[in-house]
Every structure is written in structure tokens, then in C-alpha cells.
Amino acid sequence: MTELLQRILPTVQKPARYTGGEFNEIQKDPASVRVRVAFCFPDTYEIGMSNVGMRILYGVMNRMEGVWCQRVFAPWGDMEEAMRRHGLPLWALESQKPVKDFDMIAFTIGYEMSYSNILNMLRLAGVPLRSADRTGLKNIVFAGGVCAFNPEPLADFIDFFSLGEGEDITVEIVSLYDHAKAESWSKEVFLREVSKIPGVYVPSFYRHEYNADGTLASVTALDGAPKMVTKRIVEDLDTAYWPSEMIVPSTEIVHDRANREVFRGCIRGCRFCQAGFSCRPVRKKSPQVLYRQAVETLENSGHNEMTLSSLSTSDYRGLKELTDALIPYCAEHRVNLSVPSLRADNFSRELMERLQTVRKSGLTFAPEAGTQRLRDVINKNLTEDEILTTCANAFSGGWSNVKLYFMLGLPTETDEDVLGIAELVYKVMETWKAYGTSRKRGLRIHVATAYFVPKPHTPFQWEKQIPPEEYLRRCRLLKSHLYSKAVEYDYHGPELSRLEAVFARGDRRLGRVIEEAVRLGARLDGWDEYFDHSIWQRAFETCGVDPDFYTVRGYGEEEILPWDTIDVGVRKDFLRRERRKAYEGTVTPDCRQGCAGCGANRLLREVDCDA
């Protein structure tokens, strides 16, 4: 560690964010390394170290001979000021070396409001922001993650995108770079060759042209670039790489526990959910492999908490078999086993009681909409009876703390739907009066509403986002009907979700806006302490870009969409069909009731969807 950093650390919050040296960190002999990859998470250490994708790809790259992958996180404001004051460039944790010295700079991007951090980290590293300004083979910048499914707002800054699951494609990309470096290829030659790897999208190989009304007129693939780029998936999760020796953070992180991913994709098809569609097809891991890896992870990390994660863990067919095996082990080793993302329609009280013998925490459900009509429109496939039966089950089991998540601004939503949320909450309260057993602790219902953000690659990708003032009117309407002391109601301010909607469906013209906002000081936008909406307003004005074009303006079904070059497996005509059904108020049963023909299974070569 540099002497300068040692002087700065005592003056900033959470200095352990910047030191590295944690248990299970990967160190390599610099003489044996040919390719250095600075693996950047565009947010703080405690968020990045909780990201499973980051953990997997860190292990994938460090298993490669001659490759050293090192972690980089966005500094908190106090450290950034100290870095600027002392001229200290951004560094990687393992070697404490400047990011500027690295061959490749990789970003994993899971949230649109982290885009300012990407540019700010490049700036703090002293690396030119724009891809066109980085001319050599050094400092090749590439990115992956769910936001790469609409890469266009970042097209000016990222040399290429790696689409889908990274276990295999990352090895192919870094191996090719290793070869390119040994052969002294130019950047152009490398980009040409890397674009031949399935799943790699090089934005500079596509020309975007616009109509007078601002919509896309054409997207032209240049010099033989593929017309569409299809994401990569890992077909057999049982044999896929899994990092059982996880780094144990030396400071508290957001999800400070061992994590076991039980399956990928989702059978449900909720029409607003980007992850649900873009992570298809459905593939699961076997309980035997999961048990072995879970025990290895716990014994190699000393964690006293393990979570079984996925988009809808209660849909995992092997859940009982897996927990039957894991619970005795966890009880003996005093490990708390938690199962997040429960659906109210397959909540097993018996499982919950067994899981929570150690600690009884609250229940969390996401009905998303207050009326059956609107739940059918969004294809939530959840009835009021199922919600109330589950609550009755839980209340008679002694639970008295419920979190209910909803969205406001959903397509076709009316005030009746908004008031439907209040009615549902009161029915939950009536259910508690009828079944509640924990009289000591009164009922606590926490209601939260989010501002609906239309996302690419979903049936709602063409939808309007309601104006912020209308969203706030609906929040106030709901609040005025939630007057019980047992109910706590929270809603997000509209500004952040509106910007999220701009970047989620944005095009290349937003690059200038992001650059201008970062120049004006935008960073750490995901944190209330740092998010400054006025900076973004000034940036849009300065660049003459109207954010309403990407939010309250719906997209035409015949319009060329900025993300049309990206193929996530689910076919566009299936999304159109699902949109039609939404407006008819008809549901599509989950994949267990039969394949709905979304098209994602065409990405599977050996097997079919494992619904």
C-alpha cells in the first residue's frame, strides 16, 4: 500500500473498503501474469461485494493461467475528494496498482443509475472516457450485466459488451486478448476478432440514424458485423464453475452472508419484469450439487448465514430435498438459512417454521397490484385468496410482521386499482384479527410502492411511464386511505425512477448527457446523500435532450428500438402477444402449466427448459 494511501485512510469512512487483503483474496506473482484485468463494480465496496455475478467472474478469470483479475469499486465521496486533493489515481485492491496500468477494464452493470459511476471511475483512473479516444490495445474497456441488454446509452464509452452469463464467454474474451497482446494486434484488429465471439456486441460496428421525430430510422451493421447478437447462457449449471472459496469482507457489506444460487430464469412471466424474461430459459441446479457447494462455501468462509437465491426460490422444485439436507447441517453449525423471494401462492408454512427455528423474521410478498384485474394485466398469476390464505397461515404460525410491495403507474391502472391496494391491506389486517396468535406483538404491515419503469425485452417495453406528478397524485391518494397505525407506507420520490426509465430505454444520444452530468459532479446516484436531480436537469438542457422522449412517450410497436440488435432469447412477437393479452386482461399460465412459446429454449442445445 502506498505511503500516501496510508496517510489518507484514517481520514475517510470505512477505510477497509480500499485496502484489500481479505481472507480468500487472490494474490498472484506479478512475474507470472500476462494479462491484468481491473474488474470494476460501479458502486461502493459493500454493494459490489454482495454481487454474486462479481464473485463468480472474479473466480473464473483468476482460474486462468497468466491472468490476474483484481477488484475495483467506486470510492465514497470523502475518499474521492482526498484522491483529487492528493492526485491519487483509482487503484485495484489486490495489487494496489493504478487501474490505468491494467490491460483490460471490465464493468458489471446491474443498475442504470450506476452509469455516472462508470464514467467517474474511468475519470478517477485517468483513462479517456470515450472509446474512440482510447486508441491502443491497453485499457480495453468492456462490460456485461443485465443493463447490457440495452447497451446504447453507454455505446460511446464501452469498447464492447459481453451479453448474458459470463462463465464461458469471459474466458474466451480474455484468452483472445492474451493472444492479441502476444501478437501485438492493434485495437481495431482485436475488436474485429472479439466481435466474432458469440455474445459479444461492439457498438462501433453499428451505425444508428434517426428520423426527424427522433425515432430510430435505421441500425446498420458495418463490415460484416452480425445483424443481431444473441446472449450467452450456461446450459448445465451443475457442472458450471462456482467459487466455493469466497472472499470474506473485512468490513460489513449489504448482503453479508454466503449465497447459493439455486436456478436461473423464471417460469412466471410477470409482464413488467426484465430479469424474468432476459434470464430465460429456466435451468436449475440439482439439490446434491447445491448441498455440496453450500457446505464447501460455509466451511471456506465461516459465514453464519446462508441464503438460497434466485428470481423465485419458492419455485425451485428441489427446495424441500435441499433444505431437508441443509437444515440439520445448519442447526449443528448454528448457521441461519434464509429463503428470500417467496411467492404468496406457494408459501409453505411447514418449511418456514423449520427454516426459522433460529430466528423468526418478517414476511415479504410482492402482490405488485391491488386488484385482481390489474394483477391479471401484469400476469402476476396471484389471487387475493392466495395472498390472504398465506397471511392466515403465517399469522396462525405467530408471524406479525408483513412487508407488501406494489408498483404504481402500471399499464391500464385506474384509481380503483390504487384504492385496491388499501382494500387488500385491510383484508390482511382482518385476517390477522381472525388468525393472529402473537398478541404480544401487534400486527405491523409495511407497504411500499415503486414507480413503474418500463424495461426492454419485456411485454411492457413499449409502454408510457406516467408523468411524475401523476405518480405522486396516486401515492397521495393511497396514503389518504391507509390510516391505520399498524400500517406504515413508504414510496420512492419519482426523480430517480424517471431517470432509470430514460437510461433503461435510451439510445446513443444519451452518452453526451451522462458525460455532461458527470462533468457537473454526478456520481453515486443510487445514494440519497449524493443523488442531485438538478445536475441531470442541467445536463439534459445543455445537451438539448428531452427525457420525456424516453419516458412518457410510449414506443410504437413498429418502431426500431435501440436494443433491437440484442437478442435475449425471448422473441419480440411473443412480447407483442403478451402485451395484447395484458390489454385484454388475460393471463398466461407459468411454464409448468405448459410452454408458452417465448422462444428462449432455442438457446438450449442439449436439454429443454427445466421449468
Tell the smallest beta-carbon distance from residue 591 to ligand SF4 (Å): 3
Closer of 281 and 367 to ligand SF4 (Cβ) = 281
Closer of 376 and 500 to ligand SF4 (Cβ) = 376
| One of 191, 418, 561, 611 touching ligand SF4 (CB under 6 A) | 611
The 10 Å Cβ neighbour count of residue 586 is 12
Examine residue 233 and tell whether it contacts ligand SF4 (CB under 6 A).
Answer: no
Residues 6+ positions from 118 with CB-CB distance below 8 Å? 40, 42, 107, 109, 143, 154, 157
Closer of 148 and 611 to ligand SF4 (Cβ) = 611
H-run or E-run covering 201: strand 200-201
| One of 208, 232, 271, 280 touching ligand SF4 (CB under 6 A) | 280
Tell the smallest beta-carbon distance from residue 589 to ligand SF4 (Å): 10
Closer of 36 and 280 to ligand SF4 (Cβ) = 280
| One of 281, 409, 411, 436 touching ligand SF4 (CB under 6 A) | 281
Tell the smallest beta-carbon distance from residue 309 to ligand SF4 (Å): 19
CA distance 336 to 609: 32
Which x/- pattern, by CB under 6 A, does the window 393-432 give for ligand SF4? ----------------------------------------
Q: What is the largest CA-CA distance in the chain?
A: 74
Pairing outcome for strands 444-451 and 487-491: parallel
CB 50 within 8 A of CB 249: no
Whether residue 281 is preceded by a cis peptide bond, meaning omega within 30 degrees of 0, is yes
DSSP assignments along 475-524, one per residue? HHHHHTT---TTEEEEE--HHHHHHHHHHHS--TTHHHHHHHHHHTT---
Residues 6+ positions from 224 with CB-CB distance below 8 Å? none
In degrees and rounded to multiples of 5, residue 405 shows phi and psi of -105, 135
Tell the smallest beta-carbon distance from residue 312 to ligand SF4 (Å): 13
Closer of 95 and 588 to ligand SF4 (Cβ) = 588
Closer of 302 and 597 to ligand SF4 (Cβ) = 597
Tell the smallest beta-carbon distance from residue 567 to ligand SF4 (Å): 14
Tell the smallest beta-carbon distance from residue 57 to ligand SF4 (Å): 24
The 10 Å Cβ neighbour count of residue 211 is 11
The interaxial angle of helices 52-62 and 166-182, nearest 10 deg, is: 40
Closer of 363 and 575 to ligand SF4 (Cβ) = 575
Tell the smallest beta-carbon distance from residue 609 to ligand SF4 (Å): 3
Site for ligand SF4 in 469-488 (CB under 6 A): none
Examine residue 311 and tell whether it contacts ligand SF4 (CB under 6 A).
Answer: no
Instruction: Identify which of 275, 234, 194 has the alpha carbon closest to the alpha carbon of residue 458.
Output: 275
| One of 259, 449, 458, 601 touching ligand SF4 (CB under 6 A) | 601
3-state secondary structure of 182: helix
The residue type at 118 = I
The separation between CA 95 and the C-alpha centre of its own chain, rounded to angstroms, equals 28
Closer of 282 and 337 to ligand SF4 (Cβ) = 282
Please tell me the count of residues contacting ligand SF4 according to CB under 6 A. Answer: 12
- Report how far apart, in Å, the C-alpha atoms of 384 and of each of 234, 390, 400 are: 37, 10, 19
As given in the structure block, the three cell numbers for residue 340 are 428470500
Closer of 221 and 596 to ligand SF4 (Cβ) = 596
Instruction: Identify which of 136, 141, 224, 222 has the alpha carbon closest to the alpha carbon of residue 180.
Output: 136
Tell the smallest beta-carbon distance from residue 288 to ligand SF4 (Å): 24
Closer of 535 and 611 to ligand SF4 (Cβ) = 611
Which x/- pattern, by CB under 6 A, does the window 566-595 give for ligand SF4? -------------------------x---x
CB 144 within 8 A of CB 163: yes
With contacts defined by CB under 6 A, name the span among 158-166, 276-284, 309-317, 345-353 that binds ligand SF4. Answer: 276-284
Examine residue 600 and tell whether it contacts ligand SF4 (CB under 6 A).
Answer: yes
Residue 487 pairs in a beta bridge with: 445
Which x/- pattern, by CB under 6 A, does the window 6-45 give for ligand SF4? ----------------------------------------
Examine residue 282 and tell whether it contacts ligand SF4 (CB under 6 A).
Answer: yes
Examine residue 275 and tell whether it contacts ligand SF4 (CB under 6 A).
Answer: no
Tell the smallest beta-carbon distance from residue 581 to ligand SF4 (Å): 13
Closer of 63 and 592 to ligand SF4 (Cβ) = 592
Closer of 371 and 588 to ligand SF4 (Cβ) = 588
In degrees and rounded to multiples of 5, residue 155 shows phi and psi of -60, -30
Residues 6+ positions from 229 with CB-CB distance below 8 Å? 163, 198, 199, 200, 201, 565, 566, 567
With contacts defined by CB under 6 A, name the span among 45-53, 102-110, 421-429, 596-604 that binds ligand SF4. Answer: 596-604
As given in the structure block, the three cell numbers for residue 188 are 481495431
CB 297 within 8 A of CB 258: yes
Residue 218 pairs in a beta bridge with: 209
Which x/- pattern, by CB under 6 A, does the window 122-161 give for ligand SF4? ----------------------------------------
CB 189 within 8 A of CB 180: yes
| One of 176, 221, 486, 596 touching ligand SF4 (CB under 6 A) | 596
Examine residue 283 and tell whether it contacts ligand SF4 (CB under 6 A).
Answer: no
Examine residue 458 and tell whether it contacts ligand SF4 (CB under 6 A).
Answer: no
Examine residue 279 and tell whether it contacts ligand SF4 (CB under 6 A).
Answer: no
With contacts defined by CB under 6 A, name the span among 125-133, 166-174, 419-427, 597-605 that binds ligand SF4. Answer: 597-605
Which x/- pattern, by CB under 6 A, does the window 188-207 give for ligand SF4? --------------------
Examine residue 609 and tell whether it contacts ligand SF4 (CB under 6 A).
Answer: yes
In degrees and rounded to multiples of 5, residue 114 shows phi and psi of -100, 0
CA distance 151 to 564: 11
Examine residue 598 and tell whether it contacts ligand SF4 (CB under 6 A).
Answer: yes
- Report how far apart, in Å, the C-alpha atoms of 312 and of each of 287, 339, 563 are: 16, 10, 26
Name the site residues for ligand SF4 (rule: CB under 6 A): 280-282, 591, 595-598, 600-601, 609, 611
